[in-house]
Amino acid sequence: MSANIEPKDSIKQKVIGLLHNLFHPHDYFHVLGADRYTSLKIRIILLDAILSLVPLIIVITISYFWFQKILKDDFSHQLRWEIENTKQSIEFFLDERLSGLRFLSSAYTYEQLSDQKTLAGIFSKFKREVGGLVDIGVIDSNGIQRSYVGPYPLEGKSYANQDWFNEIIVRSSYVSDVFMGYRKIPHFAIAVKRDIPEKGTFWILRATIDMETLKKYPSRINLRKNDDAFIVNREGILQTPSRFQGNILEKFQQCTLPQEEIAVTEVREPADRQSMCGYAYINNSPWILVAVIKSTPYGKIPKIFRNELFILSVISIFIGIAVTVVMTQTVVNRIHKSDQEREEAIAKTEHASKLASVGRLAAGVAHEINNPLAIINEKAGLMKDILETSDDLQKNKEKFLVLINGIFESVNRCRTITHRLLGFSRRMDISHDTIDVNDAIKEVVEFLEKEMLYRNIRLEMNLQPGLPKVETDKGQLQQVFLNIINNAIDAVEEGGLIAISSGVRDEKMVRVSIRDDGSGIPREKLKYIFEPFYTTKEKGKGTGLGLSISFGIMQRLGGTILVESEISKGTTFFVEIPMKAGAV
């Protein structure tokens, strides 16, 4: 189970690490190592490219989709307009024929039209004016066809039981669904009712119309390869042939019929193909004009626009990247140069500081040696004085012995100093000795004791007896102690306190703390104190390198320096030394 979780975690950590690196340059350098300027360049270019290209891509994408939507809307409007036009044409076609029948029914009486001959005469003229008529008949109020002109012998046929006859009784005109009828050819019928008020009865003039004319109308809509347009009745039965939905009088099943008179709806098919359905109810008829548009010309953005968009994007991306690269190059080179200058300056100052510390050491040694020298000088001088004023050597023998002993003591003092100095210099080479940290501290303190004495500084040593020995570079470690204790001496007032203690931090580290009761370091300055050239001492008194060098040394030794400070209470430095070299 845990094996399953680990890879996930490591991927997550990698991603977090990558993001972290991208936004935290120092760590990034740490990870990428030596060639940090190339890394910096890559990082800036990446960030900049993301910043400039993402909005560009968003804008391009949005405008692309926006354009596509406009095209689609335009297409849908166009479709609606075509459907509306066709609907009007069909309505006009029906209206024209119904009006014709209505005119005939009012221009002629029932009796006239019931006469087969008269009706035939009228029909032949009427047919010439109004196309598509197949036959015409007059039906009385009992549903019996009184007269008929047409290709079939339908005179005397009763329509009393047919739906349309019942329907026309309540309405004045009627348009039928398409049906096969006797001829087995699809056609439809139209009829008008004429009342005879004085008799309280009515009669009907009925004509059938072939499909040829009606069939033409749906195809007026601009149809492409996969498109289809046809007429259905309210039950969804096809009234005109369709390319894909089946033959006349079959059921059209695809779209649900809308409520509005005219509508264009989008249909998402299961295969994720988009299509549009347009509908229009044809007034005074049972028909609905339907267009199913499966071709999607609006999906194709015009080539010109696409090309322009593409060229523009490429140009802007190219310019963006070029500018970013050039800018980054300039900036990083600048940084590189200033870093070099800074490093050179640090190296110079470090050298100067080394010289200064050698000078300081020399001055300190001169001072230390001066005192015993002065004693020797006075004792020897006194002996000379005595010899010059008195010849009696025997009398002054005791005195001379005391003076000579004093001279020897002073020589011993000088010897101790030179030995200590030699020991110190010997340890300047990098080496790993097993040392007692307490001894190292004591040796450093010996150098500084006089200074503290003169300034009345109290020194509290609280070194843990039997501290585990550590494997480290004694000379370097002592340089760190020297720097920190020197700083403490500078920080405290006359009569101040410096407390040095040692102890074990954990099984890996020994910890030495050096506390002073000086004025403390303000919080805002605390974060700079390990930076090179940062100093709070008076001008000319500090190089600002002591702590930064010490910090560098402790890092090399695998340890660290920590600092705590409180205003007007003092500062404590903690030097943590690993017990084994390179263990941390």
Given the rule CB under 8 A, which residues bind other proteins? 363, 366-367, 370-371, 373-379, 381-382, 385-386, 389, 403, 406, 409-410, 453-456, 494
Is 323 or 387 the residue whose CB approaches other proteins more closely? 387
Is 5 or 454 the residue whose CB approaches other proteins more closely? 454
Question: What 3-state class would DSSP assign to 292?
Answer: strand
CB of 550 to other proteins, least distance (A): 24
Q: Where are the alpha helices (DSSP H) in 196-302?
A: 211-216
- Burial code (b: 16+ CB inside 10 Å, e: under 16) for 504-537 equals eeeeebbbbbbbbbbbbbeeeeeeebbebeebbe
In which region does residue 132 sit, left (phi positive, over 0), alpha (psi from -120 to 50) or beta (all else)? left
Rounded to an integer, what is the distance from CA 161 to the centroid of its chain? 75
Q: Using CA atoms, how far apart are residues 475 and 472, in angstroms rounded to an integer?
A: 9
Is 226 or 396 the residue whose CB approaches other proteins more closely? 396
Which residues, other chains included, contact 328 with Cβ-Cβ below 8 Å and sequence gap of 6+?
41, 44, 45, 48
497, 457 contact by CB (below 8 A): yes
Q: What is the dihedral of CA 280, 282, 286, 292, to 10 degrees?
A: -30
CB of 370 to other proteins, least distance (A): 4
Q: Using CA atoms, how far apart are residues 266 and 296, in angstroms rounded to an integer?
A: 11
Is 156 or 381 the residue whose CB approaches other proteins more closely? 381
CB of 398 to other proteins, least distance (A): 14
Beta bridge partners of 233: 287
CB of 481 to other proteins, least distance (A): 23
CB of 47 to other proteins, least distance (A): 53
Is 379 or 515 the residue whose CB approaches other proteins more closely? 379
Is 45 or 386 the residue whose CB approaches other proteins more closely? 386
CB of 375 to other proteins, least distance (A): 5
Rounded to an integer, what is the distance from CA 82 to the centroid of its chain? 46
558, 581 contact by CB (below 8 A): yes
The tokens of 158 are what?
A: 């009763």
Is 25 or 364 the residue whose CB approaches other proteins more closely? 364
Is 142 or 456 the residue whose CB approaches other proteins more closely? 456
CB of 489 to other proteins, least distance (A): 14
Measured distance between the N- and C-terminal CA atoms of the chain, rounded to whole angstroms? 33
CB of 367 to other proteins, least distance (A): 4
DSSP assignment of 497-547: EEEEEEEE-SSSEEEEEEEE-SS---HHHHTTTTSTT---SPTTT--S-HH
CB of 434 to other proteins, least distance (A): 37
274, 296 contact by CB (below 8 A): yes
Which residues, other chains included, contact 557 with Cβ-Cβ below 8 Å and sequence gap of 6+?
472, 473, 476, 477, 577, 578, 581
Is 26 or 454 the residue whose CB approaches other proteins more closely? 454
Q: Where are the alpha helices (DSSP H) in 108-176?
A: 110-114, 116-129, 163-170
CB of 424 to other proteins, least distance (A): 19
The tokens of 204 are what?
A: 């009907």
Is 300 or 367 the residue whose CB approaches other proteins more closely? 367
CB of 486 to other proteins, least distance (A): 16
What residue has token string 């340059």? Answer: 25
Is 391 or 454 the residue whose CB approaches other proteins more closely? 454
3-state DSSP percent of the chain in helix, strand and coil, to 5: 55, 20, 30
